[in-house]
């Protein structure tokens, strides 16, 4: 039997907003199968491009955005995942600030929008499974590597960092232990500045020291944030 397998890419782009929480970028398919259904941005890899070039092209064509950093998630290859052909999909995921992007649907996408991960519509193909795997990967990564600082303002109250982690993990943190852990690593600097929000006391501001963080990573430091 002649082997006939196609390769595609899919992008799970998570967005974080302090008010809206965590969302995922979805497009509406213009053609069959699953016409008019919501799906992840993605498509077949061309003969002359790498996987990374393909996923970036699909995001640009279907959603009108460029994402600086995407990490390879997993390869999905069940024989019946696409009703047209045998298609293996290499999925990527990333985390961005939605307000930094102007969405624009094009090519084989009719619409593009952000959806809360808690209120996802019915998705085409096996894309709900892909999103679930990406959520678990992101949550697992949070336990051993500080991520998401680029989603906050350059200077931020510590409560914003707590809210980010609680949104990504979908549960409450032990606030005292979490702050103690973060501060002990030395990559978060407390500033002599405060911010007033509401009627409460002014909150002290912090900033992320990337140089210190990367020094720790290069030295093989293990970040056990929730142990």
Instruction: Between 152 and 28, name the one with better pLDDT.
Output: 28
Instruction: Between 146 and 26, name the one with better pLDDT.
Output: 26
CATH of 6-142, one of 3.90.1720.10, 3.30.70.1400, 3.90.79.10, 3.30.70.20: 3.90.79.10
Token representation of residue 43: 């498509």
Contact (CB, 8 A) for 203 and 162: no
Mean pLDDT of 120-142: 95
190-216 pLDDT, tens per residue? 999 999 887 778 999 999 998 888 888
Mean pLDDT of 158-185: 88
Output the DSSP codes for 1-33.
-----EEEEEEEEEEEETTTEEEEEEEEESSSS
Token representation of residue 57: 């092209």
Which residues are within 8 A (CB) of 67 and not within 5 positions of it... i.e. 6 or more apart?
Answer: 11, 13, 56, 59, 94, 96
101-124 exposure pattern, b = at least 16 Cβ within 10 A, e = fewer:
beeebeeebeebbbbebeebeebb
Which residues are within 8 A (CB) of 73 and not within 5 positions of it... i.e. 6 or more apart?
Answer: 12, 91, 92, 93, 130, 133, 134, 137
Cis, peptide link before residue 33, omega less than 30° from 0: yes
* Predicted confidence band of residue 169 (pLDDT cuts 50, 70, 90): confident
How far is CA 153 from each of CA 48, 66, 160, 186, rounded to the nearest angstrom? Answer: 39, 20, 9, 19
53-73 pLDDT, tens per residue? 999 999 999 999 999 899 999
What sign does the dihedral 48-52-57-58 (CA atoms) show? positive
Q: What is the pLDDT of residue 214?
A: 84
Predicted TM-score of the model (pTM): 0.89
**Sequence spans of domains, the chain:** 6-142, 145-218
Contact (CB, 8 A) for 98 and 23: yes
Q: Does domain 145-218 have CATH number 1.10.10.10?
A: yes
Q: What is the pLDDT of residue 110?
A: 94
How far is CA 218 from each of CA 75, 130, 142, 212, rounded to the nearest angstrom? Answer: 28, 31, 18, 10
CA 200 remoteness from chain centre: 32
């Amino acid at each position: 039997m002649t082997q006939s397998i196609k390769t595609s890419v899919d992008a799970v782009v998570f967005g974080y907003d302090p008010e809206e929480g965590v969302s995922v970028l979805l497009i509406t398919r213009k053609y069959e199968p699953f016409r008019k259904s919501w799906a992840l941005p993605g498509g077949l890899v061309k003969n002359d491009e790498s996987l990374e070039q393909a996923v970036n092209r699909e995001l640009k064509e279907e959603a009108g955005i460029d994402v600086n950093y995407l990490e390879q998630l997993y390869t999905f290859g069940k024989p019946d995942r696409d009703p047209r052909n045998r298609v293996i999909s290499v999925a990527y995921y990333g985390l961005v600030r939605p307000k930094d992007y102007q969405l624009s649907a094009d090519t084989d996408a009719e619409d593009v929008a952000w959806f809360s991960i808690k209120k996802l519509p019915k998705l085409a193909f096996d894309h709900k499974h892909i999103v679930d795997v990406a959520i678990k990967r992101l949550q697992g990564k949070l336990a051993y590597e500080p991520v998401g600082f680029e989603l906050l303002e350059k200077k931020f109250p510590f409560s914003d960092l707590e809210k980010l982690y609680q949104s990504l993990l979908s549960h409450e943190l032990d606030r005292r232990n979490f702050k103690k852990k973060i501060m002990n690593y030395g990559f978060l600097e407390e500033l002599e500045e405060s911010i007033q929000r509401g009627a409460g006391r002014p909150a002290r501001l912090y900033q992320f020291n990337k140089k210190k963080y990367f020094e720790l990573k290069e030295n093989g430091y293990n970040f056990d944030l929730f142990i």
